[in-house]
């Protein structure tokens, strides 16, 4: 067959194969099923089966509280339930002490448990084997390595056996067609990386060789030990040199990948800032839930009083209708308003924002059971005095004390350090290398010194007869420095980004502080206005009730006035508690919420013996005679910062607008059948800042 025919036949076969493949998977149908196709797999029955994990469980306060919950309350009468009075200070104290998990109202611990903050987060990062400062310091720890191998060689050779007569009457040399030997190698090294980039190493190597090959009969010893001890010093002169670079990037770091001691320290500080932010959020949530519960009590009282008033009017109309002096439409209107207030009372009790729901929300935040037969009742009186904040002081503290700004400043500091390391990477690699070695040879590893030179390897080595050394430099340069140049460019962009975020954070915080300050002024003014409105509605109800009882007015005006007095009373208490929330928000915006609520952040207790170890180590530390002559790197931070420390601020307090309201503010009200009794409360002066109640800036 000619070559052309062969090529044409191969082309036709290739074309046929392509056509078969183009028809899809039909060509697989002709393949018979194998034995594995009908064999059931364990994966079919057990691999995807849902199972329940078995873990070790221990009793804790949250787990016991979860199991001790009783049937929830919905429409029970609060006056018949035992009350458990709790102050705001006690609620916050319980919230920050009851559980290691930082609770939130959203219930993220159920949906996203990995994103829930806990008290273990800072310690977990500090104990991380890859990201902590201790992990970064471990790169400078001394490393000891050791190897010991034994090798047996029995290798045939492609040669014939022959004999050569000995020289000078010596034994003949027999060359066998095989090679047999036993080898052993022992190596050990102790190396230390320094903060300047230098690497010091001490190595020891021992080799053993025993051969049974007659072709090497000229060896001095059929089995011999050889070894050496050497010291090495490698010092980078350009790239990788200096304490600044190694503290930022760490030894043997690649361009753009830095995890030195300073970077790890910043990571730990950022984690602490995140934990502080979570505690601040928890404190704000507890105070929010506390005042919401207090508002719910007041709203419930207002609705109950409105229901009682409507019930009196309805009963009065019912009696009039029975004796024939009333009208059916007026009785129906009074009855409708009574059931309207009844529905509002029921909603105020068991609704989504009712008393029992808000009470359970506070219970969760402070770590109590969902229900235990008692009803939490707020015992802290709301602030009703006018609080005046100094704007300049508040703004300065917000831009200095806010945890978000401190966290972002750490991010900026990280980028500043990275750009320093990136610029140092934009240099060639030039290392100075020095080695010095002592060698030894012996028939024995350790033997008696009988005068022979090579009787003992260690004896020959320690004699110092064979010493060698070398010194020189190694140079390497990536032509173009492309990777290092990209690292510098990326570091610059990252730094600009973090600085822009810092500036934007400061701008946003100033706006949020402005909104909070505005809300303080607004809510206080609403307290005054709603109080005046409430007093006027009380007077209107009293007048219209008397006019209606005298038959001089229509029932519609009385029913409308009764509804209006409940609405105005609820608005007054909402504005009063919103005023306290506004004060909380301003403290939060200016970074003083923890000090305002007397919440302290502190490190947990040291391990047993840590203080004694620190005292022992401190005995060996002596101060420098001339500290100014010591060159030290620039500090990473400006020193410790306590977010819970009280602020050195002045304060001003004023009573509630006596020139607008003639009568003092009310603390509690109760309806009689025909009159309204008001129990006055004297507005006291605001305590001093040491009480952390209302610090005014």
DSSP string, 467-516: EEEEEEEEEE--TT-HHHHHHHHHHHHHHHHHHHHHHHHHHHHHHHHHHH
- pLDDT (tens digit, 9 = 90+) per residue, 112-128? 888 889 989 998 998 89
Q: Both 103 and 206 in a single domain?
A: no
Any idea what the CATH number is for the domain that residue 311 is in?
Answer: 1.20.1600.10
Confirm whether 587 is domain-assigned. yes
pLDDT of residue 36: 61
User: What are the backbone dihedrals phi and psi of residue 571, each rounded to the nearest 5 degrees, phi first?
Assistant: -65, -35
Which residues span the domain enclosing 111? 78-126+267-375
**Long-range contacts: 6-15, Cβ < 8 Å, 24+?**
none
Kind of pairing between the strands at 143-156 and 178-193: antiparallel
pLDDT of residue 682: 32
User: H helices within 83-208, ranges in order?
Assistant: 88-97, 108-111, 121-126, 133-137
Q: Is 51 exposed, middle or buried (0-12, 13-18, 19+ CB in 10 A)?
A: exposed
Confirm whether 669 is domain-assigned. yes
**Cβ within 8 Å of residue 271, ≥6 positions away:** 121, 122, 125
User: What are the backbone dihedrals phi and psi of residue 527, each rounded to the nearest 5 degrees, phi first?
Assistant: -60, -45
User: H helices within 195-260, ranges in order?
Assistant: 243-248
Confirm whether 493 is domain-assigned. no
Q: Both 552 and 686 in a single domain?
A: yes
Confirm whether 677 is domain-assigned. yes
CA 632 to chain centre: 32
Q: Both 563 and 651 in a single domain?
A: yes
Q: Both 531 and 653 in a single domain?
A: yes
For residues 372 and 69, the answer to whether their CB atoms sit within 8 Å is: yes
Give the strands of the sheet with 223-236, arranged side by side.
Answer: 143-156, 178-193, 199-211, 223-236, 429-442, 467-476
Q: Is 569 exposed, middle or buried (0-12, 13-18, 19+ CB in 10 A)?
A: buried
Per the structure, the count of domains in the chain is: 3
Q: Both 391 and 333 in a single domain?
A: no
Q: Both 528 and 645 in a single domain?
A: yes
d(CA 210, CA 150): 12
Confirm whether 243 is domain-assigned. yes
Q: Both 271 and 254 in a single domain?
A: no
Confirm whether 621 is domain-assigned. no
Spans in the chain with pLDDT lower than 70: 1-48, 157-178, 212-220, 448-452, 622-625, 627-632, 647-697
pLDDT of residue 681: 32
Q: Both 179 and 287 in a single domain?
A: no
**Cβ within 8 Å of residue 617, ≥6 positions away:** none
Confirm whether 137 is domain-assigned. no
Q: How many residues does the chain have?
A: 697
Q: Both 555 and 655 in a single domain?
A: yes
Q: Both 193 and 219 in a single domain?
A: yes
d(CA 296, CA 434): 80
Count of other CB atoms within 10 angstroms of residue 43: 9
pLDDT of residue 341: 93
Q: Both 86 and 219 in a single domain?
A: no
Q: Is 70 exposed, middle or buried (0-12, 13-18, 19+ CB in 10 A)?
A: exposed
d(CA 562, CA 552): 17
Q: Both 462 and 355 in a single domain?
A: no
Joined tokens for residue 495: 């730094």
pLDDT of residue 289: 95
Cα separation values, 651 from 201, 357, 690, 696, Å: 65, 37, 11, 4
pLDDT of residue 671: 29
d(CA 390, CA 447): 89
pTM: 0.78
pLDDT of residue 13: 55
Kind of pairing between the strands at 83-86 and 375-378: parallel
Residue with tokens 């320094």: 194
Confirm whether 163 is domain-assigned. no
pLDDT of residue 446: 85
d(CA 644, CA 602): 10
């Amino acid at each position: 067959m000619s070559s052309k025919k062969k090529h044409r036949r191969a082309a036709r076969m290739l074309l046929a194969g392509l056509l078969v493949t183009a028809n899809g998977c039909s060509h697989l149908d002709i393949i018979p099923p194998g034995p594995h196709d009908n064999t059931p797999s364990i994966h079919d029955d057990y691999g995807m089966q849902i199972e329940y994990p078995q873990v070790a469980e221990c009793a804790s306060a949250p787990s016991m509280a979860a199991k001790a919950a009783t049937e929830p309350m919905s429409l029970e009468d609060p006056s018949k339930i035992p009350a458990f009075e709790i102050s705001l200070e006690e609620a916050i104290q319980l919230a920050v002490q009851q559980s290691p998990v930082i609770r939130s109202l959203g219930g993220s611990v159920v949906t996203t448990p990995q994103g829930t903050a806990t008290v273990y987060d800072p310690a977990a990062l500090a104990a991380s084997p890859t990201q902590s400062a201790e992990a970064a310091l471990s790169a400078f720890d001394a490393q000891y390595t050791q190897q010991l191998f034994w090798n047996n060689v029995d290798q045939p050779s492609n040669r014939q056996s022959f004999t050569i007569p000995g020289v000078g009457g010596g034994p003949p040399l027999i060359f066998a067609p095989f090679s047999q030997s036993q080898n052993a190698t022992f190596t050990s090294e102790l190396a230390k990386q320094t903060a300047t980039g230098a690497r010091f190493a001490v190595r020891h190597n021992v080799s053993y060789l025993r051969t049974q090959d007659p072709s090497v009969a000229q060896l001095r010893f059929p089995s011999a030990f050889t070894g050496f001890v050497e010291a090495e010093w490698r010092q980078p002169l350009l790239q990788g040199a200096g304490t600044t670079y190694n503290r930022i990037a760490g030894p043997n770091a690649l361009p753009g990948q830095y995890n030195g001691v300073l970077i790890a320290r910043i990571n730990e500080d950022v984690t602490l800032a995140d934990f502080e932010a979570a505690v601040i959020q928890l404190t704000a949530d507890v105070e929010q839930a506390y005042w919401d519960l207090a508002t719910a009590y007041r709203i419930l009282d207002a609705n109950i009083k409105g229901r009682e008033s409507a019930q009196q009017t309805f009963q009065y109309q019912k009696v009039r209708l029975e004796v024939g002096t009333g009208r059916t439409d007026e009785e129906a209107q009074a009855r409708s308003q009574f059931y309207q207030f009844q529905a509002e009372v029921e909603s105020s009790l068991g609704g989504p924002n009712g008393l029992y729901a808000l009470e359970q929300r506070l219970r969760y935040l402070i770590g109590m059971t969902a229900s235990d037969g008692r009803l939490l009742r707020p015992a802290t009186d709301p602030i009703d005095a006018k609080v005046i904040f100094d704007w300049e002081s508040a703004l300065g503290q917000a831009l200095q004390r806010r945890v978000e700004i401190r966290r972002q400043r750490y991010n900026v500091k990280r980028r500043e350090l990275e750009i320093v390391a990136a610029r140092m990477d934009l240099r060639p690699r030039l290392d100075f290398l020095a080695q010095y070695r002592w060698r030894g040879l012996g028939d024995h590893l350790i033997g008696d010194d009988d005068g022979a030179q090579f009787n003992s390897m260690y004896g020959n080595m320690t004699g110092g007869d064979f010493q060698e050394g070398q010194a020189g430099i190694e140079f390497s340069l990536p032509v173009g420095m492309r990777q290092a140049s990209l690292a510098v460019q990326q570091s610059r962009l990252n730094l600009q980004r973090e600085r822009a975020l810092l500036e934007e954070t400061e701008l946003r915080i100033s706006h949020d502080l402005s909104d909070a300050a505005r809300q303080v002024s607004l809510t206080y003014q609403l307290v005054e206005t709603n109080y005046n409105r409430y007093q006027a509605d009380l007077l209107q109800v009293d007048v219209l009730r008397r006019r209606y009882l005298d038959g001089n007015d229509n029932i519609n005006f009385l029913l409308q006035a009764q509804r209006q007095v409940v609405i105005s009373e609820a608005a007054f208490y909402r504005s009063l508690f919103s005023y306290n929330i506004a004060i909380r928000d301003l403290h939060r915006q200016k970074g003083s919420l923890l000090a305002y609520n007397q919440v302290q952040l502190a490190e947990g207790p040291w391990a047993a013996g840590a203080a004694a170890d620190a005292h022992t180590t401190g005995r060996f530390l002596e101060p420098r005679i001339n500290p100014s002559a010591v060159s030290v790197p620039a500090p990473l931070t400006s020193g410790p910062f306590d977010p819970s420390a009280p602020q050195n601020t002045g304060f001003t307090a004023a009573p509630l607008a006596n020139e607008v309201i003639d009568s003092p503010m009310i603390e509690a009200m109760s309806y009689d059948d025909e009159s309204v009794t008001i129990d006055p409360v004297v507005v006291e002066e605001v305590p001093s800042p040491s009480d952390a109640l209302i610090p005014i800036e």
